Amino acid sequence: MASFEKYETKQGEKWLFKMDVGKDPATGKRKTTTRRGFKRKADAQREAERMLRELQAGYFKRDDITFEEVFVEWYDKHKKTIKPSTRYTKESKFRKHILPHFAKLKIKNITSVYCQKYVDTMADTMASYRDYTIQASLVFKYAVRQEYIPNNPMDRVEYPQEEEKFLADNETVIKYWEKEVFQKVISKGEQEMPLRDYAMIRTFLVTGLRKGELSGLFEDNLIDLSRSIRVSRTVFWRNKEYILMTPKTKNSYRDVEVDEHTFKLLKQLVKMNKELRLQNGNPEIEKFLFPRQDLKPMRSAYPNDVLSRLCKRISVEDIGIHGLRHTHASMLFASGASMKDVQERLGHARLDTTMNLYTHITKERKQETTKNFVDYMTL
């Protein structure tokens, strides 16, 4: 229903009407729109009737809708298409770095100039600013599809280039251990660490598994016939509860063969876990290969804590758990593995991901190949 009012202006009497257009998606409260400037009440009534027909047909578009309201509308659909871990990350990005800049603005009033200022501000604040602008742009694209706005103001912004990107020899620095450090960690770790912690660090080093992949291993992921580990799930923690999810990509589903000694250590873990379950009264819980004392999967910070203590104890650089994955890749290349072999073992979705990450290693291999050729031919 619409309500009509007469009001005074310098040009004389005018009419306006107010109409309920439904619930506000951000607050759940009823939302009212106002239209004014009609010369006669009959004109206001005709426009109100037209808007009412559009509302009833489901295609009335509010022109006062805010960015936050569009975000809520878009995200309600979008979140059903992404994994819980991705949801958590995306919600955090919008809450901390996007909504504070855009939330209360009417989306039709947000210009490319304003978006450019946002991009410039973010570029001065963080190296990964582009991802935040991409996320904001998704909301604008949705608004265009819903005909709230005619075009996406993010399409016309310029992205600042970091000074380092203009340097020809600039490359992403990836931390990894050389062979001597790798061997020292394997040897010293076995001597000085509890079996469960050592088996964990060794498994990271000889498989290149991601942290979530190793945390999500069940005991039955050990394949005796091929002496391999089957990667089929990952673990994500949120609000002190763990969630079992599919791996990062379809290529992340894989069997990773390991050496005999590593496999024996993992089979010892299975026996230890059985005793641990007995101590806990054999509760109904998944049989994780690397459980905590309460049989839940290890918390995400635990592997880095164990690695940091070991590195300090044996005086080697702490490269972080993901550095062990890079170390595994570098050892594969050093042993003669092809780029395709490394891609499959690491579970990368695309070959170019592997190539881009390990350019520095492949360059070293090319230089070594050239040197070997020159030495062999005595040039």
CATH number at residue 234: 1.10.443.10
Note whether 29 and 105 are same-domain residues.
Answer: no
Note whether 187 and 326 are same-domain residues.
Answer: yes
Note whether 156 and 186 are same-domain residues.
Answer: no
- pTM exceeds 0.85: no
Residue 165 has pLDDT above 50, yes or no: no
CA nearest to 181, candidates 338, 310, 337: 310
* Residues 331/323, Cβ–Cβ less than 8 Å: no
Domain contains 172: no
Number of compact structural domains in the chain: 3
Q: Could you tell me the residue range of the domain that residue 100 belongs to?
A: 67-166
Note whether 106 and 238 are same-domain residues.
Answer: no
Chain segment 137-161, per-residue pLDDT in tens? 999 999 999 888 889 999 999 888 6
Chain segment 347-363, per-residue pLDDT in tens? 988 888 787 777 666 55
Residue labelled with tokens 């946002």: 118
Boundary (domain end) residue, out of 166, 187, 220: 166
DSSP 173-188: ------HHHHHHHHHH
Note whether 25 and 129 are same-domain residues.
Answer: no
CA nearest to 248, candidates 232, 230, 228: 232
Average pLDDT on 244-261 reads 91
Note whether 143 and 47 are same-domain residues.
Answer: no
Boundary (domain end) residue, out of 136, 166, 196: 166
Domain contains 129: yes
Boundary (domain end) residue, out of 119, 142, 166: 166
Note whether 201 and 297 are same-domain residues.
Answer: yes
Note whether 255 and 361 are same-domain residues.
Answer: yes
Note whether 272 and 136 are same-domain residues.
Answer: no
Note whether 37 and 79 are same-domain residues.
Answer: no
- In whole angstroms, give the CA distance from residue 269 to residue 196: 7
Residue 136's Cβ-side half-sphere holds a number of Cα atoms within 13 Å equal to 29
Mean pLDDT highest for which of 49-63, 220-234, 238-252? 220-234
